[in-house]
A and B are shown apart, each in its own frame.
Chain A
């Protein structure tokens, strides 16, 4: 457990000192969301109709943007090698790194999401569910993304490759995340969608650290 906290603390202090990354993710999210009204026109009803989907798609892309750096820097300077060789289990350390990634990218996205919802004229009924759905969905995005980030270690042009690997796996989160908000907007209970999202989160929480650790060990060979 101490190892988990140690790596979490280190990654957070690294992110704090290189703050640009977090800001960039949120800025990317805001800019992408803002592009849609320009593209589809300022018709208020249309924007309200597509708001939840737009916010989720932008959040997916923003989360993906930051994936490459989860392991890349550690891989390049040899830290990842030493993490693999530490007496603490690599799975636990990876969980710590993923949590740090989520705290620095997922959480800011959740905070920025309602602002974007207002801009897109989304009905207020959807706000609470949007936040809850993102709270369940974004950690799953970080966990799934970590697998992709570990798989591309050592590959050139990893950034493009990671999106190809990871985006298809993001689809379930997108479907149920947007679905939950839709349901809330229609005045139906969104419990079913949220439960499925919670299930996805639990599944990725259980499986992703092992898959990621395996990919990291592979990259060390």
Chain B
């Protein structure tokens, strides 16, 4: 039984405070849906979860262990689907997928690629080079990537962009199968994806004004200084 949780997460991008004091918890088979207006920090949260960003404060834990402690293990159990499809225009769909399988050390890779291509119904495209794919087909290829190799956590950032209605239903089906196998899914979407009772995390609830946050930080620093001050005097003596 896996347990993925985050506590008291604060995310600072550049000079903008995206969200603060965010906590969540998800167990095997759970789906977490991220909601919020544009810029609320859905992508940032997913990048935090993937380990691409470090939180300003707070911690992300998998089974109680911080993901920052063993990055390789976290990367091995996670599949991240970002805004970009990472498809090379000169390589075929199969060659594009092969690299990601090889990096994960997937056994019997060609068969695994076949299965993934069949699941997304793009097997007929396996020899087509990336430049001839439509944007929906590229998105499907990117989705095929997350089916290759063992994983326990899917982080999907707007997975439905570029997909038609049918593909969205297939995606929902894939998510359901993954959850049935005990996987955890965190996703953000603007259209309704037919996922069974997801936990909804509304990022608008965690937006805090920069001024308030800064005041809070100042307090902490002041306190820290106050505590440090006597000891530095002692050191001087």
Chain A interfacial positions (CB closer than 8 Å to B): 2-3, 6-7, 10, 13-14, 17-18, 73, 77-79, 81-89, 93, 220-221
Contacts and interface: CB of A to CB of B under 8 A. Distances in A.
Interface of B: 50-54, 72-73, 75-76, 78, 80, 82-88, 90-91, 95, 98-100, 102-105
A86 B75 contact: yes
B52 A79 contact: no
B85 A78 contact: yes
Given A6-B99, A14-B90, A87-B72, A81 B84 contact: yes
A157 B88 CA distance: 23
Nearest to B129: A17
Contacts of B99: 6-7, 10
Classify the interface of chain A: helix, strand, loop or mixed.
helix
Contacts of B105: 2-3, 87
Residue from A10, A14, A82 having most chain B Cβ neighbours under 10 A? A82
Given A3-B102, A7-B99, A14-B90, A85 B78 contact: yes
Residue from A14, A87, A221 having most chain B Cβ neighbours under 10 A? A87
Contacts of B91: 10, 13-14, 17
B75 A85 contact: yes
Nearest to A220: B52
Contacts of A82: 80, 82, 86, 100
A93 B103 CA distance: 9
A83 B84 CA distance: 13
Contact of B86 (A7, A14, A81): A81
Contact of A3 (B54, B84, B103): B103
Given A3-B102, A81-B86, A13 B52 contact: no
A84 B105 CA distance: 16
Contacts of A79: 86, 88
Contact of B103 (A17, A78, A88, A220): A88
Nearest to B145: A82
B183 to A, nearest CB: 17
B226 to A, nearest CB: 32
Contacts of A77: 84-88
